Amino acid sequence: MPIRITTEDEYVLVSAEDDFDMIDVRATLEEAAKRNGSKPLLRILVDARATDFRVTTDDVGLIVRIWQEVFRSRSVQIALVVSTDVQFGMGRMLGALSHETPVSYEVFRERDDAERWLLGKPYPPGP
């Protein structure tokens, strides 16, 4: 699978290393949920900077449906880190639709900012 999952102390790290499809996305989210065990809050940091994956508007709708199905009754936070303007724009579109899901979601360009948000720390860092 072109996506690597690592369990960190406070979140599940998902690293996209190559192009992937929506089947990979669903399988990855299901595995992340399993790795979280019985913790009340599932935190996922998705680092997609190493891929040039282009999400379509149809894909955004499919991701929303996947979130609804996989995370039905869980509290979930997802921070997405991207590198291109197109990825960031599509990530923002996904954020606009995330209110239809049990997922609290933000998109970032910097991993440090994503991790701070995910862990409830102030961001951007102050002086």
Q: Look at residue 106 in the predicted model and tell me its pLDDT.
A: 95
CATH of domain 3-118: 3.30.750.24
The C-alpha atoms of residue 80 and residue 35 are separated, in whole angstroms, by 18
Model confidence band, residue 32 (pLDDT cutoffs 50, 70, 90): confident
Residue-wise pLDDT for 56-82, tens only, equals: 889 899 999 999 999 887 889 999 999
Q: What is the pLDDT of residue 105?
A: 94
pTM above 0.75, yes or no: yes
Q: Which of 21-30, 37-46, 107-116 has the highest mean pLDDT?
A: 107-116
Torsion angles phi and psi, residue 53, rounded to 5 = -50, 130
According to DSSP, residue 63 is labeled H
pLDDT at 80: 94
pLDDT over 80 (residue 29): yes
* Two structure tokens written together for 99: 């209110």
Residue 88 has pLDDT above 90, yes or no: yes
103 in helix, strand or coil?
strand
Which residue, 95, 100, 98, 66, is CA-closest to 82? Answer: 95
Q: What pLDDT, on the 0 to 100 scale, is given for residue 118?
A: 94
Q: Helix and strand tally (H, E) in the chain? A: 4, 5
